[in-house]
Structure 1
Amino acid sequence: MFSLPAFRTIWMGQFVSIFGDFVAIFAVVSMITFRWHGSATQVTIAITLALVPLAIIGPPAGVLVDHWNVKRVMIGSDLSRAVIAVLLAWMTNSWQIGMVLFALGCASSLFVPAQSIAVRTLIPRERLLQANAMLMQAFYLIRIISPLVAAAIVSALSEKACFYIDSGSFVFSALMIATLTIHRPPREGADKTLSGLSKDFAEGNRFIFTHPGLSFVFLAMAIAMFVMSSFMPLISIFVRDVLHGATRTYGVVSSCVGFGMILGTTLVTKISRGKARPGVVVMGLLSLGVATAVLATSRIPFQAGVSTFLMGFSIAMVLIPAQTMSQQETPPQMVGRVSSTFMSMISIAQVFGLLLSGSAAQRLGMQRLFAVCSAVLVVIAAAGWMFLRSRRQPEAAAA
């Protein structure tokens, strides 16, 4: 894949930009938890505010991006986020942090569908699964590195340094994108009125939810992200209260997610052989249920690390087939709308997971909550397997 100059440029820009994002998020969680001695609810609210724009603004933003110059949209989004990220260094409470993260989410809601269009335009269709896998591997590698690096930066310099690094990473991404040449034919006769844009929005959603394969993997992806987002804000509190650890332990346990994601990505690429397979998604859901059960019984950092490793492994097996199917099966003129709905479903699942995690953990206790989620995931995986089996039987009979 690195023999393709356009992919190499996108990969480098995203590697640096995502690294900055993770460093900043780690600094936010660390600052609220360990410096301000905040609660799980405060951490949850701050992270939720970053996701709300992607959930609400994302789908209509995708419709607009389908009509706009994607290169300009990506550069404008990156430069806007570079300015906004600097503001994090001057915030003094979790609510202020949340407002800045909300603004970052608004800018990101335009970048995500634009990037998906760029990848679909620049990368041959038969290499999309490999391209998505390698972009995800960059994401996962950063997931490993960033908590350890961010913990060292916070310890040596403070959280402000992490926020400045995040700002610089957006500038670097914009410079990389500026070197790309994206030839995307304009949509002839496209209706850009409010009525026309509304029809485009409805058309994109109708395509997703009437496509049996896409509708299933999108739903599975939303479930997986709901579980993952429920746990992420609780892990810092879990490390502090159950494992009796501090920032460094939290960094190690968080990094294990990335190791699992890299292994999961490699396995998905080998199993799928260039084509997204819904059956892999079912395996991912079942594996996520097992990982959650391990977390429910964790008493020492090593056991917690094993569970987060398995979580990362499982999420890769769900996300990559879902994202690749959304690109392979979608007509080129609808990629922005479909990809933004994809991200919206992820964000909605994350928002609900974050909002419910704090109160559910207080009512049930964190470990009991993890056990309940494990059981639900196993049931959903079984239902998904039966659904796919029922689809294969008529196809086999017709053949």
Structure 2
Amino acid sequence: MFTVNTMKSADPKLTANGPLMRLLAAQLVSNIGDWLYVLALLTMVGLKWNATPWEIAAVSLCMAIPMLLGGPLAGLAADRMNRKALMIGSDLIRVVIVGALIFANSLFQVYLLLLMKGAMDVVFSPAKSGKLKELVSSSQMDSAVSISSAIEQITKIIGPAAGGLLVAAFGVSACYLIDAGTFLVSAAILAFLPREQRERAAAGEHADRKSAASFRSELSAGLRLIASMPIVLSGVIMLVSALFVLNIADSQVVTLFRIIPGISGDLLGWCVGASGLGTLIAALAAGKLGASRRPLVFMGGGAALMGLVFAVAAVATAYGTPGTLIYITLFSAFLLAGAGAGFVFVPFSAMLQKRTPEAYTGRVFGTANSLTSAAVILGPVAGGALVTASGPVVAFIVSGLSAILLGLLVLGLRGYIERRDSAVAAAAQDSSSAAHSLL
């Protein structure tokens, strides 16, 4: 049976948890570098090399495809191998890959390097999730995930601005060098993490090994575990659907803004920053409120809020009078949309960490990452088709209404899902107790 072992030592303050602080510090350094690298890459490919829209789209695909295809395999590695070693190795290899971008002189070389870097990103992500599970007790998981998500959003706000200044002052190569340096610093910080603190695998996993379970069965363990918990399965379906809808809109923000007469060139940057700020606020609030205890409430409400402001932004763009008022309206809409997205993502991550047995953390998060990557890839494709057929205003209204309906559906079904989840958990507990009584 899949069981969650919550036997951790007494809970000190998170800031007193030295290994956790080192893990988060490594994330902070690495995330800042990644935003510098993305901006430098788009500047090089889009502005210096004058790549076509499809060539630029291929850049995004090269970043997402490794996660889509390699998530379960990387998750299995994170559960079977030393997570600390996997993270450090991934960082060191990325130092070389990002440094090599300085010498790239063709799109083919860029695509190849991005695929290689994406593969290392895939290795790092589930290993980091598993290490977080090792270092943090279940009672503090909400706060830990909240801090980790807040770091992601802070770097999303700071990174692009710093990247723009660095590109303007020192050029694209400087950003690549700094990003390579951040991975080196991250690896150095991670070297001071404890060697291994993972708990022993559940008895069922030992049985699987003794019976020589197939490699395919091992890879699918994450999906089986997700499917065994109704509230987690519902959360995954909700998250993937919300990401799909979000990326329909996100991928077409530029086309929406282009219809505003005399639009300021700074508006897009301000709105992206507002979105990151909204998600940051939601991440901090979710941690304080213990959102993983009622994840579907936060996720459903967040999706509905996100959809509402998408629709408002489209209507304001189509019918609003150009000027300060529409800029304030759009800035506020993106702030609220970011908050809605945060209330979808953060409670889900905290819930998944708390409900996943430590021995299966890598595979569960690898599977979840693979599923969300599919939404990240397909969303922009659907957005492009919708805009081509009906225009950006209709695309935003459709995506907004879809998110609202999705949120309301989750809220309406929440009671049934939670009752079903409680019944499954009780049955699992009874089965486990009966098995122990026979020993």
Same fold judged by TM-score > 0.5? yes
Distance 1:15 1:64, change over 3 A: same
Task: Report deviation, 1:253.
Answer: 2.3
2:220 is matched with: 202
CA displacement 1:230-250 (0-9 Å, x = unmatched) = 344433555566576687543
Task: Answer whether contact 1:191 1:197 (CA < 8 A) is retained.
Answer: no
Give, as a single letter, the amino acid of the residue that structure 2 aligns with 1:200.
E
1:262 is matched with: 280
2:410 paired residue among 356, 362, 384: 384
Counterpart check, 1:335 vs 2:361? yes
Distance 1:153 1:241, change over 3 A: farther
C-alpha distance in 1 between matches for 2:254 and 2:412: 37
Identical pairs, percent: 23
CA displacement 1:211-245 (0-9 Å, x = unmatched) = 11101111111122223333444335555665766
TM-score by length of 2: 0.83
C-alpha distance in 2 between matches for 1:89 and 1:222: 35
Distance 1:36 1:75, change over 3 A: same
CA displacement 1:168-191 (0-9 Å, x = unmatched) = 111111111100003225656763
Task: Answer whether contact 1:86 1:163 (CA < 8 A) is retained.
Answer: yes
2:348 paired residue among 322, 331, 350: 322
1:126 is matched with: 139
CA displacement 1:270-299 (0-9 Å, x = unmatched) = 332663522111001101101211332354
C-alpha distance in 1 between matches for 2:414 and 2:30: 37
C-alpha distance in 2 between matches for 1:100 and 1:276: 41
C-alpha distance in 2 between matches for 1:244 and 1:32: 27
Distance 1:29 1:167, change over 3 A: same
Say which is worse superposed, 89-98 or 204-213, in terms of deviation. Answer: 89-98
Distance 1:149 1:244, change over 3 A: farther
1:213 is matched with: 231
2:295 is matched with: 277
In the TM superposition, 1:1-399 aligns within 5 A as: 1-92=14-105, 94-181=107-194, 182-185=196-199, 191=209, 195-236=213-254, 238-239=256-257, 242=260, 248-272=266-290, 275=293, 277-299=295-317, 300-391=326-417
Say which is worse superposed, 15-24 or 275-284, in terms of deviation. Answer: 275-284
C-alpha distance in 2 between matches for 1:192 and 1:174: 35
Task: Answer whether contact 1:44 1:233 (CA < 8 A) is retained.
Answer: no
Task: Answer whether contact 2:79 2:361 (CA < 8 A) is retained.
Answer: yes
- Count, aligned residues: 398
Say which is worse superposed, 373-382 or 28-37, in terms of deviation. Answer: 28-37
Distance 1:294 1:143, change over 3 A: farther
Structure 2, unmatched stretches of 5+, are 1-13, 318-325, 427-439
Say which is worse superposed, 315-324 or 151-160, in terms of deviation. Answer: 151-160
Task: Answer whether contact 2:292 2:347 (CA < 8 A) is retained.
Answer: no
Distance 1:243 1:154, change over 3 A: farther
Structure 1, unmatched stretches of 5+, are none
C-alpha distance in 1 between matches for 2:177 and 2:210: 38
CA displacement 1:323-358 (0-9 Å, x = unmatched) = 111111111211111011111122111011133333
CA displacement 1:338-383 (0-9 Å, x = unmatched) = 0111111221110111333333333322222111101111111121
3-state SS, counterpart of residue 384 of structure 1: helix
Give, as a single letter, the amino acid of the residue that structure 1 aligns with 2:198.
R
Task: Report deviation, 1:392.
Answer: 5.4
C-alpha distance in 2 between matches for 1:327 and 1:89: 38
Task: Answer whether contact 1:285 1:377 (CA < 8 A) is retained.
Answer: yes
| Structure with larger Rg | 2
TM-score by length of 1: 0.90
Task: Report deviation, 1:396.
Answer: 11
3-state SS, counterpart of residue 209 of structure 2: coil
Distance 1:379 1:178, change over 3 A: same
Say which is worse superposed, 120-129 or 276-285, in terms of deviation. Answer: 276-285
CA displacement 1:78-102 (0-9 Å, x = unmatched) = 1111111123333345554333222
Task: Answer whether contact 1:222 1:345 (CA < 8 A) is retained.
Answer: yes
